[in-house]
Structure formats: C-alpha cells, structure tokens
C-alpha cells in the first residue's frame, strides 16, 4: 500500500485515488526565462519517480506539468517585473522567443535524464481563455474584485477574506500576513494578502483581452486553470518544490476551491530544496548548476540522476562534486554486479530462503513508504554485497540468479536506469541514439573520418560502440 506525506494534513496518508485505478497528477513546471538548474530538476525528478511508482502499482496516470511563460514575477512576489519580460529585455528577444529557447533546453535536459514524459506540458500563454473564465467565476461568486486604474484599465484581485482556510497549507495566518516580507502592499488591495488574478499594465509586452479589459494573468491562476482543464476540478496529487507552498499553492487552493466549490487536490507533495554551499540553489541568486555545466565537467547525466534521486525528497540535499563522484562509483558497482550476474553460471547450491525475492519486496516496500529511496537502496546494497560474495564462491542457484535479475530490472524500472555495461534502449537519450544511427550511416557510406568523429563525440558523452554482426551495441565507457 502506497503512503504519501501530504503537506496539507501534515501526515503520511495511505494513497487512495478518487477514481479506482487512475491517478491525476499535476506538478508545477519550469518558468522558462532561463535554463533549469539541477535544483529544479530535483523536483522534476521526484515527479518522474512518483509517476514510475504509480505505474508500477498498475495505476493509470494522467500527468500534467505546466510551462510558465507569462505572469511569474521576480522574487515570486505579487508585484515587480515579469521574469519572462526581464529575460526578454536582457537578451533583446521577444518573450516568446525566450520561452521557446528555454523550453527546448528543458525538454533536452529531461530526455538526457531519462524522464518518462508527462502526458501534457501546457503553456500558460496558450490557456489565457481558461484563466479568464476562472477569474470570471470568482468575480461572479464574490471571491474577487476589480480595481480601476487612472487610465481606465482594470486589475482583478482575489479577496482572501472570503476564504477562511487561506493559510492552511503553509501555516500562515491571515492576521500575520501583514505588510512587509514577501507580500508588498498596494493601496488598491483590500488586504495585503490579496493576490493578483489579472494585472493591468499597458507597458507589459504580452497582453490579452478580458471582459474587464486588457492585461495579463497572475502566476497562480495559471496552474489552477490548466490543472482543472486537463485533470478535472478535483485532482489526486499536486506537487512542487517547497518554495511553491506559499504563496503559489496556497493561492491555487483558495482560488480553485472558491471557483468550483470542491476540494482542489487530495494530496499535496513538496520537495525540499537542493542546496549548494548550504544555500538554496536558485536562479535569482545566480548560484546554480545546470545539467550542461555538469556534463561539461565530465559527469554523466545518469550520475546526476542517481545523485538527485538517492536522497529522500523531503530531506535536505547539499550538492557537491564529491557527491557526483560517489554517485558515479555506486552506479559502476551496480553495473558490475549486473554484468557478473549475467555471466554467472547459477550452478550453486544456494540458500533456502531466496534473498533476491525478499530484497525485491523490501525495495518496493521502502518506495511505497513515501518514496523512501535511501531505505530502498539500503535493502538493495545489502543484497548486492551478499550476492557478490556468493557469486565469488559460485553459490548462486539458477532460480536465485533469475530472481536477482528480476530485482535489478525492478530497481531499474522504478528508478529509471538499466544496469550493466551494455546500455538498454530505454536508458539512452534520443540524441545518443541519433548519433549512433548517424555513425552507422557514415560507415555505410564509407565516410570513415565522419564516423570516427561521431565515435569520439559518443566517447565524450560516456559511450563506447561495439560493432557486432547484429549491428552496433552501445556500452558505457
């Protein structure tokens, strides 16, 4: 039975989806004003792991991850400049060009990290109609109010005093949300915690027409509108990084529940920040690593994936290069275990209780306990250590060998790896596959220097190609 720690009730709860056998899952995606960093990727990898676990539990998953390309203000505050516009002005491009560039980079990164793709990646700018409709519902129900500006334009705010549960997720109480800290006071607001649903600002580059006038949507309304559109008015799981809890998710709950009259999400999951030098890895502080930075240093995307996944998602993880070295060494150990297993005769006498079966059970049970990867890995490593000893003495039986193989496949399926030097088809990115094909083509055309250039490029990315009579086999370096 899968248990998840729900930030709303602050309890580990048995997971029961609304509809039997199906899960609806929304995770806040990237704001595409700059490259995603490995902190963002820690959160996104958590979504990937959760999706894999749902699928492993035979649940049919519908997963949505938004692409924010309008309305997300600097410092996550309710005023200031839109991150997209700041980036557009700095680069001399349009916000759309900036969004397209970084969204492409994001997809390339998640491909290289072997993500299972979500079902939909909706862009905020393509769902403004749905947002306007939702804001209209809030105005009709008396949960939002309009403010007229001197130039005749109109902004719309959510009225937090109409939602007594406001603050329940983050633990912030309305009385304490006084002017200052994160929420800037604007005279036009009735309460300092009221937040923008629609912003009138003629200087903003991106503008849409709403019944109350032109402007652009606030960040929070985007996720509510897209979640409701693709997943329905009540979803099973909503996730994000811990900084999303407040104000973003708090505001999403308020506006969604006030608009629909139903519970918005049944489980709220939050990933603890990835730190670097003891501080939150963040774009705005300029203290971050991208996947590219680490690949350039010679680490594999696989090691990055392992490092980010191997600690529990609610535990602080301080990123270091040393951590990546250890991740690389651990993967080597698991690859070599898988290779030895593959070669092993399996002629040994073995033990009465098959420890590979117990290890597989223990591994899955640990993941079902709020995705406790460290505990799952501890079970795996105990087994690997013991099985290595028995293989060295030739004591593994045929049945244990096949159960150990099944264990490694389960670990790989859940954590997103294939083990062993020979790389499985699902464990290599489409760009590596494309390079291998290109090399094959060059060889056929006898363009040997081009083939060699590609071979070196693959080597640089951590792969060796072995040419066999059945075609090229990809091996890890």
Tell me how far apart the alpha carbons of residues 62 and 45 are, in angstroms, rounded to a whole number.
Answer: 16
- Give the DSSP per-residue string, 189-228: -SSTT-EEEEE--TT-S--EEETTEEEEE-HHHHHHHHHH
Choice between 220 and 344, CB closer to Zn ion: 220
- Does position 244 bind ligand AMP by CB under 6 A? yes
For residues 329 and 376, the answer to whether their CB atoms sit within 8 Å is no
Helix (H) or strand (E) holding 365: helix 355-368
252 a known binding residue? yes
Kindly state the smallest distance separating residue 458's Cβ from ligand AMP, in Å.
Answer: 31
- Does position 239 bind Zn ion by CB under 5 A? no
Tell me how far apart the alpha carbons of residues 458 and 472 are, in angstroms, rounded to a whole number.
Answer: 13
For residues 263 and 2, the answer to whether their CB atoms sit within 8 Å is no
The binder of ligand AMP chosen from 124, 183, 271, 307 (CB under 6 A):
271
For residues 69 and 206, the answer to whether their CB atoms sit within 8 Å is no
Site for Zn ion in 171-230 (CB under 5 A): 223
Tell me how far apart the alpha carbons of residues 394 and 406 are, in angstroms, rounded to a whole number.
Answer: 19
Choice between 59 and 239, CB closer to Zn ion: 239
Tell me how far apart the alpha carbons of residues 299 and 305 are, in angstroms, rounded to a whole number.
Answer: 11
CB proximity list for 340: less than 8 A, separation 6 or greater: 388, 391
- Does position 64 bind Zn ion by CB under 5 A? no
Kindly state the smallest distance separating residue 73's Cβ from ligand AMP, in Å.
Answer: 11
Kindly state the smallest distance separating residue 82's Cβ from ligand AMP, in Å.
Answer: 13
Partner whose footprint covers residue 52, from ligand AMP, Zn ion, none (CB < 5 to 8 Å by kind) = none
384 Rama sector, left if φ>0, alpha if ψ -120 to 50, beta otherwise: alpha
Please list the residues that pair with 65 across neighbouring strands: 27
Site for Zn ion in 13-32 (CB under 5 A): 28
Tell me how far apart the alpha carbons of residues 116 and 51 are, in angstroms, rounded to a whole number.
Answer: 8
Site for ligand AMP in 35-54 (CB under 6 A): 39-40, 42-43
251 a known binding residue? no
The binder of ligand AMP chosen from 243, 257, 335, 370 (CB under 6 A):
243
283 a known binding residue? yes
Kindly state the smallest distance separating residue 12's Cβ from ligand AMP, in Å.
Answer: 21
The site for ligand AMP, by CB under 6 A, has a size of 18
Partner whose footprint covers residue 169, from ligand AMP, Zn ion, none (CB < 5 to 8 Å by kind) = none
28 a known binding residue? yes
Give residues in contact with ligand AMP (CB under 6 A): 28, 30-31, 39-40, 42-43, 68, 240-241, 243-244, 271, 273-274, 280-282
Give residues in contact with Zn ion (CB under 5 A): 28, 223
Q: Residue ranges for the binding site?
A: 28, 223, 248, 252, 283
């Amino acid at each position: 039975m899968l248990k998840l720690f729900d930030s709303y009730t602050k309890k580990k709860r048995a997971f029961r989806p609304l509809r039997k056998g199906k899960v609806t899952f929304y995770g806040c995606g990237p704001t595409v004003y700059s490259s995603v960093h490995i902190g963002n990727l820690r959160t996104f990898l958590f979504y990937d792991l959760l999706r894999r676990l749902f699928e492993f539990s035979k649940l049919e998953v519908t997963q949505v991850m938004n692409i924010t390309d309008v309305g997300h203000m600097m410092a996550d505050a309710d005023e200031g400049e839109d991150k997209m516009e700041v980036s557009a002005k700095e680069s001399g491009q349009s916000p759309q060009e900036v969004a397209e560039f970084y969204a492409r980079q994001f997809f390339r990164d998640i491909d290289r990290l072997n993500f299972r793709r979500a079902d939909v990646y909706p862009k905020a700018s393509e769902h403004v109609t749905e947002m306007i409709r939702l804001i209209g519902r809030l105005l009709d129900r008396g949960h939002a109010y309009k403010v007229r500006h001197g130039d005749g334009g109109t902004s719309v705010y959510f009225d937090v005093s109409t939602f007594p549960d406001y603050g329940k997720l983050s633990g912030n109480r309305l009385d304490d949300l006084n002017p200052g800290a994160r929420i800037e006071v604007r005279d036009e607001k009735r309460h300092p915690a009221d937040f923008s649903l629609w912003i009138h600002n003629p200087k903003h580059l991106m503008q849409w027409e709403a019944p109350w006038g032109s402007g652009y949507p606030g960040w929070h309304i985007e996720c509510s509108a897209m979640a409701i559109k693709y997943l329905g008015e009540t979803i099973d799981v909503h996730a994000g990084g811990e900084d999303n809890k407040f104000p973003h998710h708090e505001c999403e709950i308020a506006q969604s529940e006030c608009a629909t009259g139903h519970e918005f999400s049944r489980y709220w999951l939050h990933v603890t920040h990835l730190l670097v030098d003891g501080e939150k890895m963040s774009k705005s502080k300029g203290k971050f690593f991208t996947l590219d930075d680490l690949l350039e240093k010679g680490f594999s995307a696989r090691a990055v994936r392992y490092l980010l996944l191997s600690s529990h998602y609610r535990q602080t993880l301080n990123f270091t290069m040393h951590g990546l070295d250890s991740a690389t060494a651990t993967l080597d150990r698991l690859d070599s275990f898988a290779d030895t297993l593959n070669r092993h005769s399996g002629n040994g006498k073995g033990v009465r209780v098959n420890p590979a079966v117990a290890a597989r059970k223990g591994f899955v049970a640990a993941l079902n306990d709020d995705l406790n990867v460290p505990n799952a890995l501890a079970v795996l490593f105990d087994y690997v250590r013991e099985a290595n000893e028995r293989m060295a003495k030739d004591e593994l039986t045929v049945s244990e060998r096949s159960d150990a193989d099944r264990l490694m496949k389960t670990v790989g399926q859940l954590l997103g790896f294939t083990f062993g030097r020979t790389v499985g088809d699902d464990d290599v990115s489409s760009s590596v596959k494309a390079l291998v094909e290109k090399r094959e083509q060059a060889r056929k055309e006898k363009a040997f220097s081009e083939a060699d250039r590609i071979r070196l490029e693959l080597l640089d990315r951590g792969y060796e190609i072995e040419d066999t009579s059945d075609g090229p086999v990809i091996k890890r370096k």
